[in-house]
Structure 1
Amino acid sequence: MTPTEALSQLGGRATWSQLRRVTTERALSRAVREGSVVKVGRGRYVLPSVVGHRQAAARHTAVLSHLSAAVEHGWAVKWPPTRPWLTVPRKRKISHRGLEVTYRDLSERERARGVTGFVRTVVDCARKLPFDEALAIADSALRAGDVTRDQLEAAARAANGPGATRVRRVVEAADGRAANPFESVLRAIALGVPGLEARPQVQIADAGCFATVDLGDVRRRLAIEAESFAHHGQRDQLVRDCRRYTELATCGWTLLRFTWNDVMRRPAWVAWAIAACVAVQDGQPRPLPPREHGRAVAG
């Protein structure tokens, strides 16, 4: 995997140790020399577009907000922003060309720092972004310890106007136990499957089986795993997981495994696969798979 691809999957910002799990040191050094990756501090790397967002905010005397603010805070996102998200005071007008602009009153602290605060950033993203993208950001903010559940719940109760219902839905589902946006997006998909009660990082101690799975419905004995190349990059990790999956099957657990590409780029197929498994467990007809480009997806 190239450093640029790795950074994109990690949300546009990553540490040296995160990148070294999926790419080589030589490739990372070359990417920095060529400018496709920018080193912004000791062991910290970003995509060039992320650097440009801070410059755009300064140029327009605005503050970074929404998706750009999430990346600025160091949170992992589903997709790095392709254009700067800026917020400016209500009475000032700027050109929207190449920008995502919001007009709103700003606090002195936000103007001084040039970025919206932690809680406001989570709420802003919940209002504007698709559910899965907003959930990944809320999960990451909780995981980083930058916000607490109490803070988010208070903000959700206070939310009103357009998008308030979306804010409450994201906050209700947010969980800092998700390890990364990959797991967050997979959970967002699973939350849309009727009859499924999947929780993140479920610990299983059942009939001699001991394991922790990315998502699990204990009542259904259904485990759902987000399978990343980085996690299985070493032979011993692959062997350990194969044994774990086999043991779960012997204990009566059904295991569904999904790749990053399918979760991020084929969510309809992932949702169908989970729903089909639930239907079979309930003795219901298996739903037809989704269609892509006019052809049924076989999986």
Structure 2
Amino acid sequence: MDPVEALRELGGVATFGELIACTTRSELDRAVHQSRILKPRHNRYCLSTADATRRAVAATGGTASHLSAAQEFGWKLKHDPVKPCITLPRSARKPSGSYELHWADLSDRERRRNVTSRTRTVIDCARSYDFDVALSVADSALREGILDQDDLLVAAARSPRTGRARAQRVAQHASRLRANPFESCLYAIAITVLGLSVKPQGHVPGLGFVDLLDRVLGIVIEAESLEHHWTRAGLQRDVDRYTTAARLGLVVVRFTWADVMHHPDDVATALADVVEWRTMQAVGRHGLAA
């Protein structure tokens, strides 16, 4: 797999171990040499768009914010910023250039460090972007371990009225248990399906932890990434795992990164069909009874 595409699927930032599971060392070294991928520090790789943020901060005199701030913190994102996200003091004039601009009161610390605070970054994203994009940011922030969900809930409740409900929804659903934006976005789709109630990293005795679990309906939902499944050993683990699930009477629904990111409506429809079938089975009215 092309290292840039692999890095994008991994949320825009990854370790050597995460990347080498999807590509080869020679391809990774070539991408770094060509500046298609940046290596800002030891065992840390990111998309080259991160460099554009630093140039934008210097050019505008503003502060990196929103998705650009999340990128600066090394958080995994659903997608990298289309344009550098910059917040300017309320009194500042609009600079020339192609940026995603915001105006707000900035703390001295934020202006000095050229990036908005972690808590503010999560809330800004929650108020500004689609739920799945914002949830990916919030989940990544919690995985870092500096913030906890209570921090987000308090900050969301105190946020400006415009966008507050969106911020509160993201804070309520945020979880450090989801491993990456792939799982965050899959969860964002699943919670829209009527009758489906999923928990991240649900534990099934005899099977272990699964990405999403509806314990009542016995539905397991897995986000299947290439890094775990492209070897003979990976194939054998798959066979053993899903045979075990079948023996336990569970329905396993698997989706690829492309399914979740590019065809969310199809994913939701597939899940709705499975929920309908499992619900009919639960009340003894499925088609085989006829």
2:216 matched to 1:247? no
Q: Deviations over 1:133-160 (max 9, x none)?
A: 1111111111111211111111122123
Which residue matches 1:72?
72
Which whole-Å CA distance do the structure 2 matches of 1:101 and 1:160 have between them?
18
3-state DSSP of counterpart to 1:79: coil
Which whole-Å CA distance do the structure 1 matches of 2:35 and 2:248 have between them?
51
2:208 alignment partner, one of 211, 222, 233: 211
Q: Deviations over 1:256-285 (max 9, x none)?
A: 00011101110000000001111122239x
1:134-145 paired onto structure 2 within 5 Å: 134-145=134-145
Which whole-Å CA distance do the structure 2 matches of 1:59 and 1:10 have between them?
30
1:1-299 paired onto structure 2 within 5 Å: 1-95=1-95, 97-205=97-205, 209-283=206-280
Which residue matches 2:284?
none
Q: Deviations over 1:176-211 (max 9, x none)?
A: 100111000000000111111100000001xxx332
Q: Tell me if structure 2 keeps the 8 A contact 1:139–1:184.
A: yes
Which whole-Å CA distance do the structure 1 matches of 2:42 and 2:183 have between them?
28
**Deviation (angstroms), 1:10:** 2.1
Q: Tell me if structure 1 keeps the 8 A contact 2:217–2:279.
A: no
Q: Deviations over 1:19-72 (max 9, x none)?
A: 111111101111122221122222222222111111111211111000001111
3-state DSSP of counterpart to 1:214: strand
Q: Tell me if structure 1 keeps the 8 A contact 2:77–2:133.
A: yes
Distance 1:96 1:283, change over 3 A: farther
What's the TM-score, normalizing by structure 1? 0.91
What's the TM-score, normalizing by structure 2? 0.94
Which residue matches 1:290?
none
Which whole-Å CA distance do the structure 1 matches of 2:207 and 2:225 have between them?
21
Q: Tell me if structure 2 keeps the 8 A contact 1:7–1:14.
A: yes
- 1:266 partner letter: H
Unmatched segments (≥5 aa) in structure 2: 282-290
**Deviation (angstroms), 1:95:** 2.8
3-state DSSP of counterpart to 1:6: helix
> Aligned pairs, how many?
281
Which whole-Å CA distance do the structure 2 matches of 1:2 and 1:179 have between them?
22
Identity %: 44
**Deviation (angstroms), 1:96:** 6.0
Which whole-Å CA distance do the structure 2 matches of 1:10 and 1:65 have between them?
21
Which whole-Å CA distance do the structure 2 matches of 1:178 and 1:65 have between them?
23
Deviating above 3 A after TM superposition, structure 1's stretches of 4 or more consecutive aligned residues are none
Which whole-Å CA distance do the structure 2 matches of 1:187 and 1:150 have between them?
20
Which whole-Å CA distance do the structure 2 matches of 1:283 and 1:44 have between them?
48
Output the aligned Cα RMSD.
1.3
**Deviation (angstroms), 1:171:** 0.7
- 1:31 partner letter: A
Unmatched segments (≥5 aa) in structure 1: 285-299
